[in-house]
Amino acid sequence: MRFIERESGLKKVLRSFDSFIAINLALAVAFFTLFLILPVLSSAVEAFLDKGAISLRPIIEVLTNPEYVRLPPSLEVVRVEPVYGIVNGSVVPLGYIVSIGRYGPDFGKLVNSLFVSFTTAAIATVLGVIAAFVMSRYRFPGKSVFGVLLIVPLLATPFVNGYVIGRVFGRDGLINMFVREVLGFRNVTIELVGLPAVILVQSLSFFPIVYLNAYASMINLDPSLEEQAENLGSSGLRLFRTITFPLSLPGVAAGAALVFIFSLEDLGAPIGVKAAFGLGLHNKLLSYDVYDHFRKAYALELVSRSAYAVTFLMLLISSVGFILIRSYVSLRQYAMLSKGGRWAPRVRSVKGWRKVAVPLGLAIILAITSFPQIGTILMAFSDWAITGTAPRNFRIEYFLTIASDADIVRAIGNSVRYSLMALAVMVLVGGGLAYITSRRRVPGSGVLDLLATLPIAIPGIVIGVGYMTFFNTYFRGTILSPVDYPTNLLVFTYSARRIPFVVRPIYAGLQQVHVSLEEAAHNLGASRNRVYLTVILPLIIGNVVAGALTAFVYSMNEVSTSLLLGARDPERAPLTYWISDRIGGQTLGAVSAAAAACVLLMILQLASIAISNTILRQRVSFLGV
């Protein structure tokens, strides 16, 4: 009997294989093996090589190096320094400089990165949960407007957002203008620099990720559970603490995990803050350390072993965090039943003083979290980048520079070309992969489904290093050589990193198309290829377009791999590399033109969001893990 069952199961699997399934399965396996698994493993292996032999020495040297793990750490977060000047031939005190972050905290690059990532995730979680709870549980004036504006901080302004922090919290920034002119403390200067500045930039940029995931969890809660708790006497903060928040933890944890990983790999904030302040501890992070090693090395063979060891540690940290969160989320799933099958979200109208306090509170959160984007726009239209405490001399010439500067035009063309080519790969591989994992139970489909999400958990700098080591070893002298044609690899780094944005919407669309439509077409004699092209694809075309738009925009905004590979061939580097180069130059026209380019990226991203929402006609969480 068992033999018959096994034979029947084998026949069922074999029936699932036809030319369409076999080709798409082979394509997905080849893509993930060649452009994700092998490069990542290659970078990991390099971390254990010492003079050609396998050794733990590179890892141990990093872990015991005071540069990476500083003992005892510097905990001097705030230092007050007197400023002296000469008046009438005498040295007299002129005031004080309050430096936050210039001298500490400093735990070494490894612990610094963990500290920044954990702190950023914590701040983003607090802000995101507050915003999600208010938006999901209350009805108030302007709610629909806030629903759109709360994702503004997510709009990419690579490098420039960190520079804006410098113009606000620097010694000649807006904060000090307020302290001197409004509060009257003319002899006090405050500056925010170093790790606290990086944490601020990342927290403001990433908090919408937690908000979107938490909001999706809260609106899907069965309202009867909260109603039963209220009938038993629970209300207010106790109701939130014991019922609403625990039931929302899967979404909250998923968002926090994404923020942690994005913070760990982020290069834009350290480079932007470094350009704004010049000195401080902002470059004492693992992501910047790896980038700096490869940027300065004339040849790949000259890259320090510690760079590969650091890359492996970043991969280990992000992977362990990803796995733990996935396990935790799966353990915290709650089954919720409702007689109607699908329930309306539990929303209350605010009354009295809350009618003003709720939108005012959200407006304050929004103003604080959106000022990097607001500052980028102001910088693109004024001379604020270098001169003056506040924006002045408004003009549009920096946007005209984008059209007239040959380097900028070439960089934009490079980004568009690489992103479109990557998009073609993502749609081709992702569409077939989504179909296999949603429609066919073939061996390894679960692994492929995991691989379709895994790129989110792998820092971009790790993938970039993996491409440089793997393709330099096995493809040197070809068009995929990181020495001869490094920017050609950007097409595949974009594809590998952004393919989840294509797979997930297509998978969701396939879940909404009943299998009986396929079976009817098969019964009429149509092959699986024809069914996919003429029946399934037209029904899910909205999901395909929405996913493609998102993947294209995020490919245009890609930072880590663009810098790592683009630095080896600046003539063919993408737009984000050009923005980084102009920010580093710190000249008026260059920085403002970089801000103008970021404004164009924001417009592109807003258009993508608008079109995607129009097509899908629903709001989805930010690719929850």
HEC per residue, 427-464: HHHHHHHHHHHHHCCCCCHHHHHHHHHHHHHCCHHHHH
Cβ atoms of 428 and 31 closer than 8 Å: no
> In terms of residues, how long is the chain?
625
pLDDT at 618 over 60: no
pLDDT at 590: 83
In a domain, 387, yes or no: no
Same domain, 361 and 504: no
pLDDT at 427 over 80: yes
- Report the pLDDT averaged over residues 115-122: 95
- Report the pLDDT averaged over residues 409-436: 92
pLDDT at 619: 42
> How many Å is the Cα radius of gyration of the chain?
26
pLDDT at 300: 78
User: How does residue 348 score in pLDDT terms, banded at 50, 70 and 90?
Assistant: confident
This prediction has a pTM of 0.87
pLDDT at 491: 95
Same domain, 46 and 175: no
Find the angle CA(276)-CA(280)-CA(281) to the nearest 5 degrees.
115
pLDDT at 344: 63
pLDDT at 3: 46
Q: Which CATH number do you get for residue 527?
A: 1.10.3720.10
pLDDT at 92: 73
Same domain, 288 and 364: yes
Q: What are the tens digits of pLDDT across the range 434-488?
A: 888 887 777 777 788 888 888 888 999 999 999 999 999 999 889 999 988 888 9
Same domain, 497 and 454: yes
What's the domain count of the chain? 2
In a domain, 4, yes or no: no
Instruction: Give, in order, the Cα–Cα distances in Å from 185 to each of 84, 98, 113, 175, 390.
Output: 17, 12, 35, 12, 18
In a domain, 2, yes or no: no
- Report the pLDDT averaged over residues 544-573: 88
Same domain, 409 and 364: no
Q: What are the tens digits of pLDDT across the range 201-212?
A: 999 999 998 998
Same domain, 39 and 141: no
Torsion of CA 280, 162, 423, 486, to 10 degrees: -40
Name the pairing type of β-strands 188-192 and 90-100: parallel
pLDDT at 315 over 90: yes
Residue 74: phi and psi, rounded to 5, are -90, 120
Same domain, 399 and 357: no
Domain that residue 74 falls in: 69-338+353-380
pLDDT at 62: 92
pLDDT at 8: 52
In a domain, 24, yes or no: yes
Same domain, 413 and 268: no
In a domain, 6, yes or no: no
Give the SS3 label for residue 624.
coil
The pLDDT mean for the chain works out to: 83
Same domain, 247 and 295: yes
C-alpha–C-alpha distance, residues 232 and 472, integer Å? 66
HEC per residue, 324-361: HHHHHHHHCCCCCCCCCCCCCCCCEECCCCHHHHHHHH
C-alpha–C-alpha distance, residues 309 and 578, integer Å? 29
C-alpha–C-alpha distance, residues 41 and 43, integer Å? 5
Same domain, 488 and 556: yes
In a domain, 454, yes or no: yes
Outline where 481-617 has alpha helix (H): 490-498, 500-511, 515-523, 528-531, 537-539, 541-556, 560-566, 575-585, 588-616
Same domain, 501 and 358: no
* % of the chain with per-residue pLDDT over 70: 90
pLDDT at 338 over 70: no
In a domain, 40, yes or no: yes
In a domain, 623, yes or no: no
User: How does residue 341 score in pLDDT terms, banded at 50, 70 and 90?
Assistant: very low
C-alpha–C-alpha distance, residues 124 and 112, integer Å? 18
Q: What are the tens digits of pLDDT across the range 563-589?
A: 999 888 888 999 999 998 888 765 667
Q: What are the tens digits of pLDDT across the range 243-281?
A: 888 888 888 888 898 899 999 999 988 988 888 876 666
User: How does residue 397 score in pLDDT terms, banded at 50, 70 and 90?
Assistant: confident
The continuous run of DSSP H or E covering 5 comes out as helix 2-16
Same domain, 166 and 141: yes
